[in-house]
Amino acid sequence: MKALGVAALLLAGLAHAETPRIAVTAANERGVERAFATLSRTLPQELGELPDPDDDALHFLLVSSPDATQESLEALTLDARGRPLDVQVNLRTEATTCPEGVAPELVCRRTPALRLVADELERRHPALERRSLRAELGGRLRLSSAGRRLLELPITGPHGKPSLQARLRVLVLRAHPGGAPAVGGSEAGARQVMERELATASGVWAQCGVELTGTPMVVDPPRGQLVAVGCGAGLPASGGTVSVAQGAKRAQVQTRPGESPLSVAWRLADALGGAAPVFENQRSAAEAVASADLWLRGAASSRTVVSTDPSLPVCVTELNLGDGLSHFGDGDAFVGTPEERALLRAFDDADPSTVEVFVVPRFERSERIGESFIVAPGSSLTSAVVLDRSAIAAGARSFALSHELGHVFLAMPGHPDDFGVDQSWSLMDADVAEPSIFGPRRLSLADCARALTEAGPNALVPVLRPPAKAAR
């Protein structure tokens, strides 16, 4: 065995100390010393033959004089606020060969490899209970003996890096104004359900050193209309008029041959007094050029929109959650359906670094429980997740919120197993519903590295950022 690194300076004095002392170092199963602890991201060896060791589980090596007690060891985790979270009392140790350089009169013992996990399901698994502890990103892992602290490690992201934070806007929709929220039965119930969902998702993403923040809100469906200029075929204008009338008020623009839908949308917004925000869409598979949207706020009962341009149709959509939200397919995955755009445009905060999370009663077709919109060239639907009540009810069978956030953080439109080997334990697996420890709950180091590249502080859109400093 190689000589100790962190405790090497202590060892020389142990053999000649007047009072018994213990030197402690932490190392993973590859023997790499650690000055930090991380949450486990792999299935443990007890559950089957696995190709790689658990690089996150930590052994503690204790070196002492023969008369120093190494009994009554206690491993304690503290949460991010410094409050006790979980404990292993009477942690067992076993005799082991001392590393090179340790004085021959000293003795060495080693603990089993402790695993830090985010939830009770994994913490209480019968095969793992004696060597697992619940832990929290930003907390600490403390080893003590007979009430004396021996070692304390911060709980960090991979490789000891500081945590990053994703700011979420969590909006629970009612099916109609004043109605019951999509989950929870009441406003207080909806907030409670989503706070629990956020805590679960934060535990999953703690594997990558990511903390999720956000305060759930219950909101009415938006009042207004989405006006899509150039919808359908997505052709340039041929010449005609596009008009919007509400009561006696009318705004009209004359289109020009060859003019783009976006140009017409901007001129129509000017004719409306600049009150209607304009959004450029990414081109769908069926369109020759990209369409453009205007969001007209307010009551729409007496509003009419008409186009006389033969190649520039104008489509009007009002969001109706009562019959389920229509969702995208392969051809319009980046542009979204008109109803999806009506939802996202209405609540747009013009900040793509904030992730909007919408919870709706249901999708139009039952095979869909969640979807996401990622940062992509030309797309104005970015950093958004839509879930229905089935996704929330599925809980740990699917980790739907964590999974859909994965699409956003990883900038990944598909799934690793779409054209590759199925990995049922991976959070980003496409089709697993498994509530056990074998379910889709794990993120690899490669996943974490990709999230840092695609969404970290140096990304084009920094969704994952260092936590804001607390005000003094």
Neighbours of 466 (CB within 10 A): 12
Q: One-letter amino acid identity for 211?
A: E
- pLDDT-derived band of residue 10, with 50, 70 and 90 as boundaries? very low
Helix (H) or strand (E) holding 193: helix 187-205
Q: Determine the pLDDT at residue 247.
A: 67
102-111, 274-283, 419-428: least confidently modelled range = 419-428
Distance of alpha carbon 275 from the chain centroid: 34
Q: In this structure, are residues 399 and 199 in contact, taking their beta carbons and an 8 Å threshold?
A: no
Q: In this structure, are residues 345 and 279 in contact, taking their beta carbons and an 8 Å threshold?
A: yes
Q: In this structure, are residues 357 and 171 in contact, taking their beta carbons and an 8 Å threshold?
A: yes
Q: Determine the pLDDT at residue 435.
A: 83
Distance of alpha carbon 135 from the chain centroid: 18
Mean pLDDT of the chain: 87
**Which of 419, 421, 416, 422 shows the shortest CA–CA distance to 447?**
416
Q: Determine the pLDDT at residue 161.
A: 92
Q: Determine the pLDDT at residue 471.
A: 38
Domain 162-220+342-472 of CATH type 2.40.128.50: no
218-222, 225-229, 303-307, 308-312: least confidently modelled range = 303-307
- Give Cα separations from 306 to 242, 303, 315 (angstroms): 6, 10, 9
Averaging pLDDT over each range in 87-91, 298-302, 354-358, which range is the top one? 354-358
Q: In this structure, are residues 328 and 336 in contact, taking their beta carbons and an 8 Å threshold?
A: yes
Q: Determine the pLDDT at residue 11.
A: 47
Give me the residue spans of the domains in the chain. 8-156, 162-220+342-472, 223-318
Instruction: Check: pTM over 0.75? Answer yes or no.
Output: yes
446: helix, strand or coil: helix
Helices (H) and strands (E) in the chain, counts: 8, 24
Which pairs from 388-395 meet CB under 8 Å and 24+ separation? 388/182, 388/325, 388/359, 388/360, 388/361, 388/362, 388/363, 389/182, 389/183, 389/359, 389/361, 389/362, 390/362, 390/366, 392/183, 392/193, 392/194, 392/197, 392/359, 394/369, 394/433, 395/200, 395/435
Percent above pLDDT 90 for the chain = 57
Distance in angstroms (rounded) separating the CA atoms of residues 38 and 158: 6
Q: Determine the pLDDT at residue 2.
A: 42
- Give Cα separations from 347 to 107, 351, 382, 430 (angstroms): 64, 11, 13, 28
Q: One-letter amino acid identity for 224?
A: G
pLDDT score of 43 more than 80: yes
Pick 283 or 207 by higher pLDDT.
Answer: 207
- pLDDT-derived band of residue 329, with 50, 70 and 90 as boundaries? confident
pLDDT tens-place string over residues 388-404: 999 999 887 789 999 99
pLDDT tens-place string over residues 128-180: 899 999 999 999 999 998 888 999 999 999 999 999 999 999 999 999 999 99
Could you give the angle at which helices 400-410 and 187-205 cross, rounded to 10 degrees? Answer: 60
Percent above pLDDT 70 for the chain = 90
Tokens of 262: 């976006």
